[in-house]
Amino acid sequence: MLEYKILAVDDEEHIQELLKFNLENSGYKVICCSTGTEALKLAKVEKPDLILLDVMLPGIDGYDVCKEIRKDNNISSIPIIMITAKSEELDKILGLELGADDYMTKPFSIRELLARVKAVLRRTTIQPIDKSYRFDNIIVDFEKHEVTKEGKRVELTLKEFEVLEILIKNKGRVVTREFLLDKVWGYEYFGETRTVDVHIRHLRQKIEEDDKSPKFIETIRGVGYRFNIGD
């Protein structure tokens, strides 16, 4: 799976612990805070992939936090699931009108919450598939399955190209070895993470200026790889 970072905002400590425990067990990285002011600061610094936002917070409430996030161009695209004890339809409508992506009321089922988190992340992290992608002096043509460097074709195997394509289309995000194995090789290779490492090594030799100190394909020790390049 991809490494998603979630910011959980709730002023009840036991709710924070409940969210953190279950989300981390599902493979997410979780940051918690208990006030709206903290939530806004963490959203700007951490840039989470999703925010679970309680409405009833001390000081700045969840509605105002949502409103401020949607006004800030640097973080306005972060998906938000609002959580509240209020169940009235008008409260839900207000949250959605302010830009929330989903809405849950307490008490909630952890299984339902996890399903909603997964659905919102899937819906909001799908990126438009461009026909090609350019970085540095390299062009990757997704339609032709072709890579050129300084105008000269780089010979990649099909698997090497598929690994590169997945990394590029998730640029800036950590992709685990298991995710690459599943998507490129399928379940029959489950556990054979060395297969991924070998292909990454070959990719680096072909596209990096210095494959011993790679600029584009970064190793995240014990987890997987991340493609680093600006838009």
pLDDT tens-digit map of 123-138: 766 555 568 889 889 9
Helices and strands, counts by H and E, the chain: 8, 12
Q: What is the number of domains present in the chain?
A: 2
Give the pLDDT confidence score for residue 34 in this predicted structure.
Answer: 95
pLDDT in tens, 78-116: 999 999 876 666 666 777 778 888 888 888 899 999 998
3 state DSSP class of 83: strand
CATH number at residue 96: 3.40.50.2300
Q: Would you tell me how many other CB atoms lie within 10 Å of the CB of residue 168?
A: 17
Give the pLDDT confidence score for residue 127 in this predicted structure.
Answer: 53
Residues 116 and 139 in one domain: no
- Per-block average pLDDT, block size 10, for the chain (231 residues)? 85 94 93 96 94 92 93 88 76 76 87 90 64 90 91 92 92 86 71 82 93 90 84 47
Find, among 219, 226, 207, the residue nearest to 154 by Cα. 207
Residues 181 and 78 in one domain: no
DSSP strand E in the chain: where?
A: 5-9, 29-33, 50-54, 80-84, 102-105, 132-135, 138-141, 146-149, 152-154, 175-176, 217-220, 224-227
For residue 113, give its domain range.
5-124
Give the pLDDT confidence score for residue 212 in this predicted structure.
Answer: 85
pTM of the shown model:
0.57
Residues 10 and 81 in one domain: yes
